[in-house]
A = this chain, B = another copy of it.
């Protein structure tokens, strides 16, 4: 593959804090290597509609600290059709764009990989999702920020829990991955953490809460991952606990979309900058159909086929730590 001279960048899927920092790094890295850089608005849909804008180093100033993605994101039904993808390819060709950087999650990579195979068009991915559910990278962009957002929210809820001797069930995001719940649960000092990788079950939760009460705890926070069986009906779980543990008043908070936004943490800004630079480096080395990830604090390339295999298993050491420190 010859080295590209014009690169496009887009964001797709759920937004995550740090996506803007990643776009900025791609744009400035292009400027550094004297490549043109085109921003594609609204993800794959914008590719189909030709919603393009040239991006220079000054057009991305003052965005490193902003949540969301200024290129916007959108679902694209059209991109699932052959006709849609052909239109996308023809738009890229007409603009003389020679390679594409996509920032998003596994759905984004699956779409990009199919497009790559179909048209032999160079594509490199950057993992941007708060869920940390991508294989082949230790961390995804936005995950660290989401952890801080969750921990700060639970710190606030704990003020009330302590003041009233209450039990709070706090539902957090993460799709099928328990990473947010487990790490934020440890960080927030949760008494119990329910994650999809471990199905604790209502009975064991009840026993454990009962033990806590006896050991002198007067309030409790239970962090529930949205992907956990119990989390799928969190209000039902609350009722079940109240009926079976009468000492407790139970309250539910579903943290919701605040977890996707906010100014990115320093870690996410640095990670996004490294991966954005790494993506352009990879294209210049002639790589394609890979995701740029971070493993053991080094920037690496991982085939898309690996990345979309689903997340790594949950860390047993962390589960043990959670058990010990909630004693």
A residues sitting closer than 8 Å to B (CB atoms) are: 11, 14-15, 17, 19, 24-25, 28-29, 31-32, 57-58, 61-62, 64-69, 72-74, 138, 144, 147-153, 155-160, 162-165, 168, 183-184, 186-189, 215-217, 251-258, 260-263, 265-267, 269-270, 273-274, 276-277, 296-299, 317-318, 320-321, 323-327
Q: Which residues of B contact A160 (CB under 8 A)?
A: 14-15, 67-68, 257, 260-261
Provide the bound-state CA to CA distance between A210 and B116, in Å: 40
**Given A153-B258, A254-B256, A324-B277: A159 touches B270 (CB 8 Å cut-off):** no
Stoichiometry, copies per complex:
4
Structural contact, A73 and B164, CB atoms closer than 8 A: yes
Could you tell me the distance in whole angstroms from the C-beta of A13 to the nearest C-beta in chain B?
A: 10
Which residues in B have their C-beta under 8 angstroms from that of A165?
72, 74
Q: Which of B157, B163, B266 contacts A151 (CB 8 A)?
A: B266
Contact A68 B317 (CB under 8 A): no
Given B149, B189, B216, B321, which contacts A274 in the complex, CB threshold below 8 Å? B321
A68 touching B277, Cβ below 8 Å: no
Query: In the bound complex, how far is the Cα of B149 from the Cα of A17, in angstroms?
Result: 17
| Interface residue from B29, B72, B157, B326 paired with A163 (Cβ < 8 Å) | B72
